[in-house]
Structure 1
């Protein structure tokens, strides 16, 4: 196959045969195993640590504590948000599950057993669990390790025009306001985090196999933390069983495994269990939001005002561009033509696990999209207008693109009303509303929820965005062998998205060769160009663009070589897929395979052409790309039990040009399941002592096939005008758009019972309490 279209994923051949290679499959001679001792307290001082009994265990090779790392200058490591995080706790623990000691043993069972032999004396401190009280004068200071720190404040950040927004609110006919919680959720990838570190004391070379979404960033950070020269570090990210943002950060155990290998002289493996993954690795969301939407009496939306309290846990580790510490900066106004907007965000420390990953959303866009879509439904209820009609009155039209939103970002392209109409037609909206009226008469509660979202993906441009000072550009290197077979090396890292297929299709599209003749290399810093990895739907918008440009450069170089081979002027050649031929004489030409051979042969090449057939590109995107979609969810609610059943879900997505529709649809299916999980069941809750109540899949529920309906998909294609392929990206869209559709549907079902709003997750208990007029705060066992 050449070019774009449906085709089976190339990587699936090894996966369906059980031939994938994951970090836990790595076996090295003399390899040791490790385990982490974690704090049982959310907040406590460490008065002493006695490792004598553990070190005496016959199979234990090393025990590391914070004091040991402090001697090496490794007690603290930088985070992606310019904070610092303890590798192993030295002064005190700041969240339940924080790393306190690291045991290296001959097998993983002995390493785990030895944890019980370590005696740690803790002095418990009062925990700060509720972000709403984190800035109170009488609460403990969590980050007293920071010089001069006297409170739990992290940052204040704002976007938009506060004065212009306030003026529009003063003149508005109608204002709706709502406090909302987007609760803490977890990416919960199928494969947990893990690492194998192998330090060679003779060569000084460090090789690390890691479950990484960003191998090059991990290499650089490991160099900064350990002091090992970066060119002596090789990070290999083999097959990765899902990431969803969870595998962007470096975790303390990664550093400990490196030190463990340096101390023992042997490779050290660490793989966490499911409870460790859920309780201590990077979470997402946890935003307390207040939104206000101003409108005229006829439903023309005027302005949006937002205040957010962001709970970032004990260390600020958010994987976000450093200029935008809180997100919300791209699309807080959603898909609507608002005259002004203002958003202010305050970040605080609490005694919870650190993080704030871009879990299937580009830097807090899921929260922003949820906020505006809930407000639009509340405004529709206030005005007595159908939610679809209100959206039609305010959606951006195709003539308005490129459109600069109220916070200053330029949306690239779209036809929003057409997408919404397609969703309404697909679901049979008019008939559903008629059914709803009939069933309400029989005290049956059918709900129809609409969500329209604009996503902003393809993080870059580098002038706007960086991670720990590294601009968010990515590269691609393409080389054709003398036989015409191609090798593409990319800097982004797949975690199931099908990069080996999609990127081969891009090369095939540009060069007219078969996808079977393209090998895609990724996940190895010694064999790929530098880049910041895969998250925020960066792959196709950034590295896919780099691949396209690199292939175009190969094609242009092939033209020059073909001119020498055919002894004609380069301007006399014309391109047909896979071949340069003489204009007006199509039989006189050379295939790409023949040109590749000539590039490595004795043809007298033109000036400036140095032989071989290759091309590369470091792509710095001129702008983000802005995919969008219209989603409609249909639910049935049992008011007696609070049970919600999702009956139908229609998703219309416009992600620009679709390289492989099958992969696009798979991404949408997964994202929709994510959204239903967050809306109805997923919750990382804590009790008043800071104990995590979601440490297993018995407590932290994720949706299964039983919980989701058959998805009904439709599409539009509005190419991005600045992307070489017109592609916009799709990986996170469904997770951004679907929670609001589900919640709007449940609130629509409960409207006759007087329910205006309830926070996610809409578990049966939460829905039942909302019906009783007693909203449930399930995230904290305080009220």
Structure 2
């Protein structure tokens, strides 16, 4: 792979404060629910109380008679507009409002538009729906049974609940490795269904202008341009007549990638009433019906020699995608990037197979704080390595160090075909072990075990694959995963950068201004970053899968370099020399051999708008555009060490220490990087110890509030101890790899490994997440608890 121009040192602006925080800390942010338009009406969704039931009839007459109700929309209404079904991001179709039957508890059945949100909610109770209950399918393994009820009987010829089969690697070579291996360790494990639970729920304000024929939608989306294209496909509206505005977003984590029925209903409500319509879901709706993640039943096997040389991996996965396949995965990868399950180790062979199935749960498969299923893959391989260490009686850190890829092996092509760009894995692991003082921890653990106290030490190493592209290999609904950028430098030297990615709190307005400022020598304070408005920004696939810096950050650097080259032509005319005789230093072009003879970027910008005579064929102004098509993914990595104390009598787990050493390539703003790591680590602790979307045998969702769906707070998290190594990506314009999801990818395995290590005196080899007190106590008793279902 050809190396590209990269900075020799980290970017110069470093830990500058986030520009966007000035409005946030003053309460001046603008969110969808802050949008108020003249004559605006309010919408509310009627949801199914059943997980699986046929709709016999819907009587909306009482609701329509409500004095403040302006419209009641049902699936029949939408069918008349050819809007009853919409495409999902994975080429499936999903009912906007149920027509034939409901397929998960909380599915949308009707939409009420009223003068205020309270009247809309009240009118929901006036709608009479006659349901015929059907047997629900809650467990993915039950979904494939011959006698299982068929969930998607709306699909022609559908006779079962099977969605897809996908595989990666060489099955025959892997079988040969396992046949001759001295040691084979196997483990079944569950990565339970979890929810992104963003601070802000989903919502939309739709305004269809009957005069201009233009539809404007303010919405909580991470991918405004993709939404515009899909609305055009669904509603049949001209795409240039659709404007999507994504204002400030209170967290997304993948939850706000797809289009939800509430968005479409708000649009239809505006078309039907001729007024703007706002719909904002409440917390219970968000937890019950918006996109989930994970829900993987995994069987993994690892082959090795007796002295701990890992030879191969073999994996079978059953993926629960809910009632509609709403995954936001690239078309060629229906199971996402699970093929990166070989992790950070040098293997002889590997193979995995993934089967996706429908169940009577809300649509799942969102890329929640992971790059398309890599979180599950990393968890699987890191648990298998610990299981192998348990069986061999080896120290888990020693086993990892023995098998990690070495720097000289990069670029490395894995046995499943992924090309890792760069890395120094042993150095990162040594840094984490040194920061934690690993030998001292093991000595402390030995003393505590002599006293009957349970202390655990968990080690995890991960490699992530982010920055989805190139578009020849990766698309969603035929839209290639490349991102655009536009940069304009005004006559006074101030600049505006327009990007297709959308922030949800990652600090884009600061980070991208720093990138452009570094390339042009302009203060980031003099650069505005515009995003989240399809009328103001170039086309792109949006922000998820940690695509921000790997893709849009690269686009910002490339477009700034184009402007810099344009500035060289202008400077050559100003200095009356050949452009080839100019050299660049940060912020100015000067004549080679005469440093004093130069012009700053501000002087050049003013001249570019003047009557300066430029070479023939050269336009003025310092403007440029680009579409960045990534040549490859980037591969950040890290080494984590977690220390826990476990009370075996109560099952209570306390995370005492957590050491995280991350390598995300060149760091643009280290302070923002650390903030992203802090959030991701807390997320991982939550998934390991408390987060789970559980269901009872009737398909009732048991996590409809934050009293039931638990999230970690500062009380459950230790003071994070962070370290870093820096291995630039050879193909990224500034050597950056991205950090947004790394901590969430690596931390669950570290926490679980630590808890299982604490329970080792009880003979515990594995326990499934979430490791709640009940689950930990049961594991210590030798009776593992199934935590994703309220039935045993």
The TM tier, using the shorter chain, reads over 0.9
Q: What displacement does 1:608 show?
A: 2.6
Q: Which of the numbers 332, 349, 358 marks the counterpart of 1:340?
A: 349
Query: Are the equivalent residues in 2 in contact too, given 1:330–1:456 (CA < 8 A)?
Result: no
Q: Does residue 223 of the first structure (1) align with residue 232 of the second (2)?
A: yes
Shift of 1:754: 0.7
CA distance in 2, matches of 1:134, 1:608: 65
Deviation above 2 Å: which 4+ runs of structure 1?
1-4, 327-330
**In the alignment, is the contact (CA less than 8 A) between 2:693 and 2:788 conserved in 1?**
yes
> Is 2:690 the counterpart of 1:667?
no
Aligned mates of 2:11, 2:598 — CA distance in 1: 20
Match of 1:243 among 252, 261, 275: 252
Stretch deviating more after TM superposition (576-585 or 632-641): 576-585
SS of corresponding position for 1:421: helix
Identify which of 101, 120, 124 aligns with 1:92.
101
Alpha-carbon distance in structure 2 between the residues aligned to 1:709 and 1:782: 33
**Residue number among 119, 122, 138 corresponding to 2:131 in the alignment:** 122
Distance 2:30 2:373 in 1: 32
In structure 1, the partner of 2:5 is none
Indicate if the aligned counterparts of 2:651 and 2:773 stay in contact, CA closer than 8 A. yes
Q: How far has the Cα of 1:330 moved from its partner?
A: 4.2
Structure 1 residue aligned with 2:164: 155
Provide the TM-score with structure 2 as the length reference: 0.98
| CA deviation vs aligned residue, 1:351-408 (integer Å, no higher than 9, x gap) | 0000211111001000000000000011111111111110111000111110000101
Tell me the equivalent position of 1:714: 723
Indicate the residue corresponding to 1:319 in structure 2: 328
In the other structure, the counterpart of 1:134 is 143
Residues 69, 123 of structure 2: 8 Å contact kept: yes
The equivalent position to 1:209 in structure 2, one of 218, 223, 240, is 218
SS in 1 for 2:759: helix
Alpha-carbon distance in 2 for matches of 1:61, 1:477: 43
Offset at residue 4 of structure 1 (A): 3.7
Cα distance in 2, alignment partners of residues 607 and 304 from structure 1: 62
SS of the residue 1:327 aligns to: coil
Match of 1:255 among 251, 264, 269: 264
The answer to whether the 8 A contact 2:168-2:339 is kept is: no
* Separation (CA, whole Å) in 1 of partners of 2:617 and 2:431: 53
Q: Secondary structure at the match of 2:462?
A: strand
Match of residue 452, structure 1, among 461, 471, 474: 461
Once the two structures are overlaid, the 10-residue window that deviates more, 678-687 or 329-338, is 329-338
| Structure 2 counterpart of 1:526 | 535
Who is 1:617 aligned against?
626
Q: CA offsets per residue over residues 34-57 of structure 1, 9 Å max, x none?
A: 100000000000010010000000
Maintained 8 Å contact 2:337/2:371: no
- DSSP 3-state at the match of 1:780: coil
Matched with 1:598 is 607
2:209 maps to 200
Q: Distance in 1 between matches of 2:616 and 2:735?
A: 34
Give secondary structure in 2 for the equivalent of 1:379.
Answer: helix
Out of 495, 504, 508, the residue aligned to residue 513 of structure 2 is 504
CA drift at 1:2: 8.2
Cα drift, residue 587 of structure 1: 1.7
- Partners of 2:600 and 2:649 lie apart in 1 by 71
Would the aligned equivalents of 1:295 and 1:303 in 2 still touch at CA under 8 Å? yes
* Offset from partner CA, 1:15-74 (integer Å, 9 cap, x none): 011100000000100000010000000000001001000000000000000000000000
- 1:586 is aligned to 2:581: no
Tell me which residue corresponds to 1:381: 390
Residue 707 of structure 1 aligns to a residue whose secondary structure is coil
Does structure 2 retain, via aligned residues, the 8 Å contact 1:676–1:742?
yes
Aligned runs of 1:386-401 on 2, under 5 Å?
Answer: 386-401=395-410
Q: Does 1:775 align with 2:778?
A: no
Tell me the distance in 2 between the aligned counterparts of 1:177 and 1:594. Answer: 67
CA distance in 2, matches of 1:763, 1:195: 36
Paired with 2:599 and 2:404, the residues of 1 have a C-alpha distance of 51
Aligned to 1:568, what secondary structure does the other structure show? coil
Q: Which runs of 5+ in 2 are unaligned?
A: 1-9
Counterpart in 1 of 2:770? 761
Indicate the residue corresponding to 2:477 in structure 1: 468
**SS of 1:121's equivalent?**
strand
Q: C-alpha distance in 1, partners of 2:291/2:391?
A: 38
Q: Indicate whether 1:628 and 2:637 are aligned.
A: yes
The residue aligned with 2:275 is 266
State whether structure 2 residue 761 is matched by structure 1 residue 748.
Answer: no
CA distance in 2, matches of 1:538, 1:420: 25
| Structure 1 partner of 2:6 | none
SS in 2 for 1:367: helix
2-structure distance, mates of 1:4, 1:493: 22
Residues 3 and 508 in structure 1, CA contact (< 8 A), matched pair in contact too: no
Shift of 1:572: 1.1
Give CA-to-partner distance per residue, 1:438-470, whole Å, 9 cap, x none: 110000000000000000000011111101110
CA distance in 1, matches of 2:752, 2:637: 19
CA distances 1:71-108 after superposition (whole Å, capped 9, x unpaired)? 00000000000000000000000000000000000000
> Is 1:406 aligned to residue 415 of structure 2?
yes
**Aligned residues of 1:181 and 1:759 also touching (Cα < 8 A):** yes
C-alpha distance in structure 2 between counterparts of 1:174 and 1:608, whole Å = 70
Q: Choose from 537, 542, 555 the match for 2:551.
A: 542
Query: Equivalents in 1 of 2:598, 2:515: separation in Å?
Result: 24
In 2, Cα distance between equivalents of 1:69 and 1:589: 65
Counterpart in 1 of 2:81? Answer: 72
Q: Deviations over 1:130-181 (max 9, x none)?
A: 1011011111100000000000000000000000000000000000000000
Any conservation in 2 of the 1:3–1:506 contact (CA below 8 Å)?
no
Pairwise CA RMSD: 0.9
- Contact kept, 8 Å, 2:11 with 2:668, in 1: the verdict is no
Q: What's 1:429 paired with? A: 438
Q: Quick one: distance in 1 between partners of 2:650 and 2:11? A: 54
> 1:328: Cα distance to partner?
4.2
Aligned to 1:166, which of 163, 175, 199? 175
Task: Supply the distance in 1 between the matched residues of 2:518 and 2:617 (Cα, whole angstroms).
Answer: 27
- Using the alignment, how far apart are the partners of 1:564 and 1:573 within structure 2? 11
**1:17 and 1:197 mapped to 2: Cα distance?**
27
Aligned to 2:49: 40
Aligned to 1:574: 583
Decide whether the 8 Å contact of 1:2 with 1:514 is kept in 2: no
Structure 2 CA distance, aligned partners of 1:310 and 1:549? 39
Q: 1:781, CA displacement in angstroms?
A: 2.0
Note the 1:349-364 alignment, pairs <5 A: 349-364=358-373
Q: Which of 15, 21, 24 is the equivalent residue of 1:15?
A: 24
CA distance in 2 between counterparts of 1:96 and 1:388 reads: 44
- What secondary structure sits across from 2:342 in the alignment? coil
Comparing 328-337 with 180-189, greater Cα deviation is found at: 328-337
Q: Is the 8 A contact 1:197 1:258 kept in 2?
A: yes
Q: Separation in 2 of the partners of 1:217 and 1:151?
A: 31
In structure 1, list runs of 5 or more residues that go unmatched: none
CA–CA distance in 2 between the matches of 1:329 and 1:165? 17
Q: Secondary structure at the match of 1:288?
A: strand
- For 2:3, the equivalent position in structure 1 comes to none
Matched, 1:103 2:112: yes
Structure 1 stretch 270-279 or stretch 570-579: which is displaced more? Answer: 570-579
Aligned pairs (5 A) from 1:552-571: 552-571=561-580
2:46 and 2:725 mapped to 1: Cα distance? 51
